[in-house]
Amino acid sequence: MFNAGKVKDACVRWIRDFFEENGKGCNAVVGISGGKDSSIVAALCVEALGRDRVIGVLMPCGEQHDIDMALLLVEHLGIRHFVVNIKDAVEGLKAQIPFALSQQSVTNLPPRIRMSTLYAVAQTHNGRVANTCNLSEDWVGYSTRYGDSVGDFSPCSHLTVAEMKQIGRLLGLPAVLVDKVPIDGLCGKTDEENLGFTYAQLDRYIRTGEIEDAEIKARIDMLHERNLFKLRLMPSFVPDAEDTRY
């Protein structure tokens, strides 16, 4: 049985240890989308470091229909925050590329610019960037490579969506944030519409290996195998030692 309280406390200690070893006195910089994952990661950082050492960055691309949820989160936690609208950067870069981008490139451009924005904030404000992905998303590659898939530390990448929600409730977050239907923030669809299955089905399969629908199992397995490269370090060529001996 998942022990949410024990895991939450251990995660808080892990964050403290990370900053003690990799950024003593630094701030945690968290991209705030208004969804449960960024809300929970920000709340964990507040519990670990104190609100004065957590910086939220809201990054709408033009109009964001649920920006009120992101504002609710930073107000609830009492953390300082910046709003950086990335629309001009996205459109400006698209205009400079001398060919029509594929739809996939257009979709993934905003999260990559958001990650550049987070690192600009972090380098200016003595920060370390938090990765806000969870295990369920990572399992099927539901993230943008060198966008929301990266960061300096990742508190929740080994926790499923269901487990994240339990921790969110323990952290005292507003229910509207914890239970908010997740959307991709890219094309306007819900996560589950894009994936073709529910997080409940995925989480159960990850933790128990049990799933009734053979087609869904095959789809999950295909996505998992196809996207494993996102979780691995960049491959690098290693020449034979004898060939580099002087």
Greater model confidence, 182 or 229: 229
- pLDDT tier, 39 (very low <50, low <70, confident <90, very high otherwise): very high
- The whole-chain average pLDDT of the chain stands at 95
Locate 231 and state its tokens: 């979780």
The fraction of the chain above a pLDDT of 70, given in percent, is 98
Nearest 10 degrees: CA dihedral of 101, 230, 30, 12? Answer: 170
Query: Is residue 96 exposed (0-12), middle (13-18) or buried (19+ Cβ within 10 Å)?
Result: exposed
- Name the amino acid, one letter, at 65: H
Q: What is the pLDDT of residues 195-207, one digit of tens each?
A: 999 999 999 999 9
Domain boundaries, the chain: 4-181
CATH superfamily, with its number, for domain 4-181: HUPs (3.40.50.620)
pLDDT of residue 246: 87
Q: What is the pTM of this model?
A: 0.94
Name which of 37, 46, 56, 38 is nearest 16 in CA terms.
Answer: 46
pLDDT of residue 131: 98
